[in-house]
Structure 1
Amino acid sequence: MTDTTTDTTTDAATDLTAVGHTGCGCPEGVAAGVSRRGLLGGAGVLGAVAGAVTAASPAEATTRFTFADAGYTGDTLVVLSFRGGFDGLSAVAPVDEPAYHAARPNIAVPQSRGIALTSKFALHPALAPLQPLYASGKLAVVHAMGQPNPTRSHFTDMDEMERAAPGSSLRTGWLDRMVGATTTPGAFAGTSLGSTTSPRSFLGPATELSLRSVDQFSLSGPWDATETTRWTTALRALHVGAAEPVGVPARSTLDALATTTALKAAGYTPANGASYPSGGLGEALRDTARLVKAGVGLRAVTVDSGNWDMHAGLGRVDSGWMARQLTEVGLALAAFMTDLGSAADRVTLVTLSEFGRRVAENGSGGTDHGHGNVSFVLGGGVVGGAVYGAWPGVGPDQLQAGDLKATTDYRVVLGEILERRCGLAASTVLPGLPTQRLGLVRAR
Structure 2
Amino acid sequence: MTDVTSQTPLPTADACCAEFAAVSRRGLFSGAVALAGATTFVGSAAITTSASAATSAPAVLVVVSLRGAADGLSLVVPHADPAYYRARPGIAVPAERLLARDASFGLHPALAPLLPLWDAGTLAAVHATGLPAPNRSHFAAMEAVEDADPGSAARSGWLNRLIGTTSGTSPLQGFNLAGGVTPTSLYGPAPTMSAGKVDDVRLPGEEDGDGGRRRRSLRTLWDHDRSVLARGMRSTYAAVDQFGPAEAAADHSASYPDTDLGRALAEVARAIRGDVGIEVVTVDHGDWDMHSGMGSAERGWMVNNASALAGAIAAFFGDLGDQAGKVTLVTISEFGRRVVENASGGLDHGYGNVMFVAGAGVKGGRYYGSWPGLGTGDDADLQVTTDYRSVLAEIVSQRFGASTAKVFPRFSPESVGVMTSL
* Bin of the TM-score, shorter chain as denominator length: 0.7 to 0.9
Helix, strand or coil at the partner of 1:377: strand
How far apart, in 2, do the equivalents of 1:414 and 1:26 lie? 28
Q: For 2:38, give the aligned amino acid.
A: G
| 1:180 partnered with 2:160 | no
Q: 1:396 deviation in Å?
A: 3.5
Per-residue deviation, residues 249-271 of structure 1 (Å, max 9, x unmatched):
4334323433555544553337x
| 1:436 partnered with 2:414 | yes
Aligned partner of 2:148 in structure 1 is 164
Q: For 2:170, give the aligned amino acid.
A: G
Aligned partner of 1:269 in structure 2 is 252
How far apart, in 1, do the equivalents of 2:55 and 2:247 lie? 22
Per-residue deviation, residues 61-91 of structure 1 (Å, max 9, x unmatched):
xxx95xx336x64x21111100000110111
Q: For 1:356, give the aligned amino acid.
A: G
Note the 1:107-256 alignment, pairs <5 A. 107-219=91-203, 225-226=209-210, 229-242=212-225, 245-256=228-239
- 1:382 aligned to which of 362, 384, 387: 362
Aligned partner of 1:3 in structure 2 is none
| 1:364 partnered with 2:344 | yes
Percent identity for Structure 1 against Structure 2: 45
Aligned partner of 2:329 in structure 1 is 349
- 1:417 aligned to which of 351, 370, 395: 395
> What are structure 1's unaligned runs of at least 5 residues?
1-22, 51-63
Q: 1:181 deviation in Å?
A: 1.4
- 1:303 aligned to which of 267, 280, 283: 283
Q: For 1:382, give the aligned amino acid.
A: V
Q: 1:150 deviation in Å?
A: 2.3
Change in CA separation of 1:149 and 1:24 when aligned onto 2, cut-off 3 Å: farther
Change in CA separation of 1:245 and 1:145 when aligned onto 2, cut-off 3 Å: farther
- 2:265 aligned to which of 285, 307, 320: 285
- 1:93 aligned to which of 77, 83, 90: 77
| 1:395 partnered with 2:379 | no
How many matched pairs?
393
Q: 1:340 deviation in Å?
A: 2.0
Aligned partner of 1:27 in structure 2 is 18
Q: For 2:383, give the aligned amino acid.
A: K
Change in CA separation of 1:278 and 1:251 when aligned onto 2, cut-off 3 Å: farther
How far apart, in 1, do the equivalents of 2:170 and 2:204 lie? 23
CA contact (8 A) 1:281 1:332 kept: yes
Helix, strand or coil at the partner of 1:323: helix
Aligned partner of 1:18 in structure 2 is none
Helix, strand or coil at the partner of 2:65: strand
Helix, strand or coil at the partner of 2:199: coil
How far apart, in 1, do the equivalents of 2:381 and 2:332 lie? 18
Per-residue deviation, residues 355-406 of structure 1 (Å, max 9, x unmatched):
0000111111110110000000001210111111100111348x9x511000
Moved more, 184-193 or 210-219: 210-219
Q: For 1:69, give the aligned amino acid.
A: T
CA contact (8 A) 2:161 2:188 kept: yes
Q: 1:196 deviation in Å?
A: 4.3
How far apart, in 2, do the equivalents of 1:24 and 1:203 lie? 31
Aligned partner of 1:7 in structure 2 is none
Aligned partner of 1:15 in structure 2 is none
Helix, strand or coil at the partner of 1:142: strand
> What are structure 2's unaligned runs of at least 5 residues?
1-13, 28-33, 45-51
Per-residue deviation, residues 319-361 of structure 1 (Å, max 9, x unmatched):
1111011111111111111222452221111111000000111
How far apart, in 2, do the equivalents of 1:162 and 1:342 lie? 30
How far apart, in 2, do the equivalents of 1:393 and 1:224 lie? 59
Change in CA separation of 1:224 and 1:97 when aligned onto 2, cut-off 3 Å: closer
How far apart, in 2, do the equivalents of 1:244 and 1:438 lie? 47
Change in CA separation of 1:356 and 1:184 when aligned onto 2, cut-off 3 Å: same
Aligned partner of 2:6 in structure 1 is none
Give the TM-score normalised by structure 2. 0.86
Moved more, 31-40 or 433-442: 31-40
Moved more, 308-317 or 127-136: 127-136
Change in CA separation of 1:159 and 1:248 when aligned onto 2, cut-off 3 Å: farther
CA contact (8 A) 1:69 1:185 kept: no
